[in-house]
Every structure is written in structure tokens, then in C-alpha cells.
Structure 1
Amino acid sequence: MSSIEIMIKNMVCPRCIEAVKAILDETDIPYQRVDLGKVSLHTPLDPEQELTLSQALTHHGFELLKGEKSAMISKIKSLLIEQIHHSEQKLSTNYSEFLANQLHHEYSYLSRLFSSVEGMTIEKYITRLKTEKIKEFLIYDELTLSEIAFKMDYSSVAYLSTQFKKETGMTPSEFKKSKSSVRKSLDKV
């Protein structure tokens, strides 16, 4: 049996998945599965269900995405968030190949689409996601900078530090010492 996928914006963590499941249960919409950024349904939503779900999602800070381009952007973001923030496995390839393989589109198409809609490149988005993950590691203070660089796939601590400073205006050490260790919510990256 094939499923119908709907895309949901701002689903960026496992707690979001649980929140969306609860919303689907509350609105009596049967589903097969809920993953970051998407829900697999048994049958398409009728207009009344779509409106009810859209309102419930909006009330909880999510957004039901419509249109092929919005859905593709959401898929790109979900795949990258999952890989950078929630996966323990390193990629066996680079991000462009990973996205092209996962989404069955040429990377050049995905890159142009993402840039035109988001106003930044996929590479810049990846850097921002990595920066937020590095902030998390620095705040928890359980890994050395060398371990963080290795875990985040940077070629060196110096390169990680350079990228981090470009994004935050501080070196990792300065960030660690600062009392305002501010992190962005992943849906705001």
C-alpha cells in the first residue's frame, strides 16, 4: 500500500515528531509514520481535514507546506538537520551527493531551488547547522575542540575555529567563556 506524504515546516527534533503525532491523534487523522519534516498518511486529506490540521499545526508553531518547491526545501532541511544534529553515523559521501541520492534530483537543481527560496546556499545552511551543533558541544563541555572537529567533519581545529568565528563573531574559546552562550532554534537557522 502506498502512502501520501505531507510536508510540515519547523519539525526539527524528536520532540517535534511527538508533538505532531499528538496533533494528528487529536484531529483524528490516521497516519502511517511521522519523520522530521513529513507525515505519511494512508489516504489524502479532504479539505476539511486539511484546514483542521493546518490550524492545529499553526497553533503549535508548525506549518503545513503546500506546493512542490516548499516540500522540496523542507525535505532538504530535514535531511540536513537529521544528519548533522541527530545522526551518529558519518556520511560516506559529501553533502551534495547525499542530497542528490536521497531526493533523486541533480544537486545543481536542488542548490538553485534552495538558494532562490531561502536566500542562501545549501553550503551556508550546512555551516549554520554545524555552528549550532558546535555551540551545543561547547555548552555541554564534554568534548575537546579536536574531538568536536573530528565529529563535525572538519579537517582541522583551525578550520572549525575560522568557520565558527565567521558565523558567530567569536572563537569557540570566547564562546565557551561568554555567559551568553546563545543558541538558535533549528527552525530559525
Structure 2
Amino acid sequence: MSNNAPGPWGPPPSQPGPGQWGQQQPGPPGPFGSGPFGGPPPQPPRRVGNPGLAVAAGVVAMLVGAGVYGVIVKSLEIQSTWFGVGVAALIGLAMGRVGGANPVLPIVAIVLALVGIMLGQLTAITLAGADELNISVLDVVSDFGSDIIQGWKDGLEPFDFLVFVFGAVAAFGITKSVGEK
């Protein structure tokens, strides 16, 4: 019989005992994996986000992106798919970063991206109308708001639908990939 008590009656110093402060020393993997007690190795905790705050961040990103989109389109007087993808990317980054891997957020990001692209195009039309009529943007919105929306609807072209499709795909993919990291 062996006595494991410390002192002259304990295990000889050549045999490894428990680690400092009694911690278990790592050993060879067990028959069922390399985790504790032979189980699978522990996985890092999944990043948990705040979906409500993510939607709020997405709305803020949508408004900022739409404003920048409208100013760029109006000042350059060109329309590009990349502007819509930029708005969608901004929304996706904000929502994925804040919301984590919530499966609903990519769908919400698609809706926000489509609304953001539409608001960006309406902003460009409003800014152009304010310059053309030589009045403030608020006067254009208050006096000609319904005319701006009707003109936007009438002026939609196949290219605009392409911008919406690329924006939706970008919003979904970026939100999903950033949220899972």
C-alpha cells in the first residue's frame, strides 16, 4: 500500500505529482477525444449580440448611407451599382457587428438596404430639385414630396432594379458573415 501524504512517506520526488496548487496536469487524449474526461475539446463561446441594438444600428447606418448616396449621385450626376452596394455594406457591417449570429438579422438587413437605396435615390432627386428651383431642401420636400416620389417611380429603369438586387445580396451576405465571426 502506498501513502500519498506529503513528507517522507509520500511519493518519491522523481514521480510527477499534481501540478502547482493541485491543478490537473494535461495528459494524453482520452479514447473519445481530447477534452476533459475524454469528451470533445471545448469550443469557444459563440458571440452573442443584441438584436434590438443591431436593428437600431442598421437604421442609423441606413440613414447615413442614404444621405451619402444621395449627395454622391447628385454631385457626380451618375448612378452606379456600387453606391447601392456601399449602403448595403454599411448596414450589413453595423448589424452583423452589433447583432452577432442572429438568423433574423440578415433578413432585416435586406429590408433596410432596399429602403436605404430608395432613400438615397430620393435624396439625390431632392437635392437636384432644390438646386434647380433655387429653394431649400426642406421646401422641396414639403411642397413637392409627392411629386418627387411619383417621379422616382416613373423613372425606375432596369438598372435600378439591378442596384436593388445587388444591394440586397450584399446586405444579406455581409450581415451573415460579420455576425458569425
Q: What TM-score do you get using the length of structure 2 for normalisation? A: 0.29
Higher share in helix: 2
Report the structure number with the largest CA radius of gyration. 2
Higher share in strand: 1
Instruction: Compare relative contact order (CA 8 Å, sep 6+) and give the higher one, 1 or 2.
Output: 2
